[in-house]
């Protein structure tokens, strides 16, 4: 499993880089893991959601970018985010969506429990999910999401996209809910746990170099009204 350097980017660049990770990675036969941060306050929302629903409640000075994965609205103000791209010949690509969530979040759970943080996996839906507020996706846990044991608040969630190129999973972890977490330790532990779960030992690599036209085209896509406002 290739482990890319953690970098801080704008919302457009992060979404473009994740899609490049799936569709144009120089070594598509490898699993690749990209931890990333945000250089600006931003919201992202799922590929099949309506732009107007969220633009009406997210302040207009804050970027709102459509992901290529599913899910609802997520605020990237104080979270820890990552993307995983899995080749089409890997067994997890062939499994159903719930199994992919379960494998990745079980690895995540192990890392957090190793620091004695009070979290657990959700095994069944906790509530219905009508749209109510910008953070609604972050407050309603789905099966295999992580929540606090004490009150069920959602700690971590993810969204997926499955294409002929492979499986892309974009995940986030709420930092404010894990005040006792040693994030430096987590950053080291999580790739190891993922590598074990995916049967592919982690190997640090440098940032990939993409074809310029692919890079510019992907950035232009996620920066465009045609993409973000298409529904």
For the chain, domains (ranges, CATH) are: 2-216 (3.30.930.10)
Question: pLDDT category, 1, cuts 50, 70, 90?
Answer: very high
Across 179-188, average pLDDT: 96
Buried b (16+ CB within 10 A) or exposed e, 72-97: bbbbbeebbbbbbbbbeebebeeeee
Place of tokens 């979404």: 15
Q: Do 187 and 35 contact (CB within 8 A), yes or no?
A: yes
* CB count in 10 Å sphere of residue 229: 13
Question: pLDDT category, 131, cuts 50, 70, 90?
Answer: very low
Across 92-121, average pLDDT: 94
Query: What's the confidence (pLDDT) of residue 141?
Result: 67
DSSP secondary-structure letter at 47? T
What gap in Å lies between CA 70 and CA 74, rounded to an integer? 11
Query: What's the confidence (pLDDT) of residue 129?
Result: 45
Q: Do 51 and 229 contact (CB within 8 A), yes or no?
A: yes
pTM score? 0.91
* CB count in 10 Å sphere of residue 179: 7
Closest to 14 (Cα-Cα) out of 139, 172, 163: 172
């Amino acid at each position: 499993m290739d482990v890319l350097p953690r970098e801080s980017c704008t919302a457009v660049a992060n979404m473009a880089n994740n899609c490049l990770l799936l569709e144009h990675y120089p070594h598509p036969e490898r699993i690749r893991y990209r931890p990333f941060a945000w250089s600006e306050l931003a919201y992202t929302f799922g590929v099949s959601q309506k732009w107007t629903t969220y633009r009406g409640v997210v302040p207009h000075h804050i970027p709102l970018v459509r992901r290529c994965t599913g899910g609802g609205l997520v605020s990237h103000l104080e979270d820890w985010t990552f993307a995983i791209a899995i080749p089409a010949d890997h067994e997890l690509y062939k499994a159903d969506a719930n199994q992919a969530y379960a494998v990745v979040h079980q690895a995540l759970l192990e890392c957090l429990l190793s620091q004695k943080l009070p979290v657990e996996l959700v095994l069944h839906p906790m509530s219905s999910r009508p749209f109510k507020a910008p953070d609604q996706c972050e407050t309603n846990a789905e099966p295999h999401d992580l929540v606090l044991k004490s009150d069920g608040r959602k700690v971590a969630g993810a969204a997926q996209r499955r294409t002929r190129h492979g499986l892309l999973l974009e995940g986030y972890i709420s930092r404010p809910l894990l005040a006792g977490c040693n994030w430096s330790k987590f950053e080291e532990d999580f790739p190891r746990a993922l590598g074990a779960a995916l049967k592919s030992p982690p190997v640090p690599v440098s940032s990939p170099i993409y074809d310029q036209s692919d890079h510019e085209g992907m950035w232009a896509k996620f920066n465009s009204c045609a993409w973000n406002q298409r529904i």
